[in-house]
């Protein structure tokens, strides 16, 4: 199975599992379970499961673990998985906006990526929610990269 197909197929494998099952020591990378809201733990829990199954591709594990939050070290595959998670046409919100963003891919990948991270952070701000440091560092990395281009 190709890495892309594996990431696309497996990243949400545990999305519908009971978050109460994700005790903090069965997530990868270790430690995120203590800091992250439970509804986000299906990514790190899936990465941990893949690690247990023998997967040693760190970029793939990172892509799966951080597909909802983002991470500054995501590679191209990880960035596309992050984008696909938000822009999935099957999801039921912001149809017009997300369709417009999908239409700008792949040509404007960095600009679209920055916009998607901004939309997600904006949503958290509106809800007065905490923002994970991985997400803020992801924003900073992509924003700096976009400024240079």
Give me the least distance between CB of 46 and Fe ion, in Å please: 9
Cβ proximity to Fe ion: between 39 and 104 the closer is: 39
Binding mask 6-45 for Fe ion (x = CB under 5 A): ------x--x------------------------------
Q: Which residues contact 98 (CB under 8 A, 6 or more apart)?
A: 86, 87, 89, 91
Count of residues near Fe ion by CB under 5 A: 2
Cβ proximity to Fe ion: between 13 and 111 the closer is: 13
Does residue 57 belong to the site contacting Fe ion (CB under 5 A)?
A: no
Does residue 49 belong to the site contacting Fe ion (CB under 5 A)?
A: no
Give me the least distance between CB of 12 and Fe ion, in Å please: 4
Question: Which residue's beta carbon is nearest to the bound Fe ion?
Answer: 12
Cβ proximity to Fe ion: between 93 and 148 the closer is: 93
Q: Segment 88-127, which members bind Fe ion (CB under 5 A)?
A: none
Kindly list the distances between the CA atom of residue 70 and the CA atoms of 1, 43, 74, 75, 114, in Å, as whole numbers in the listed order.
24, 11, 7, 11, 11
* C-alpha of 93 from chain center: 17
Give me the least distance between CB of 14 and Fe ion, in Å please: 9
Which residue ranges make up the site for Fe ion (CB under 5 A)?
A: 12, 15
């Amino acid at each position: 199975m190709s890495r892309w197909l594996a990431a696309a197929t497996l990243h949400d494998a545990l999305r519908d599992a009971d978050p109460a099952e994700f005790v903090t020591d069965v997530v990868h990378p270790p430690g995120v379970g203590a800091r992250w809201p439970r509804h986000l733990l299906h990514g790190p829990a899936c990465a941990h499961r893949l690690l247990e199954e023998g997967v040693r591709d760190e970029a793939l594990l990172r892509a799966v673990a951080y597909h909802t939050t983002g991470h500054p070290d995501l590679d191209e595959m990880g960035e596309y998985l992050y984008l696909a998670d938000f822009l999935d046409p099957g999801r039921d919100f912001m149809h017009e906006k997300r369709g417009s963003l999908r239409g700008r891919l792949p040509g404007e990948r960095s600009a679209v990526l920055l916009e998607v991270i901004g939309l997600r952070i904006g949503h958290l701000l509106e809800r007065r929610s905490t923002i994970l440091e991985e997400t803020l560092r992801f924003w900073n990395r992509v924003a700096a990269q976009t400024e240079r281009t």
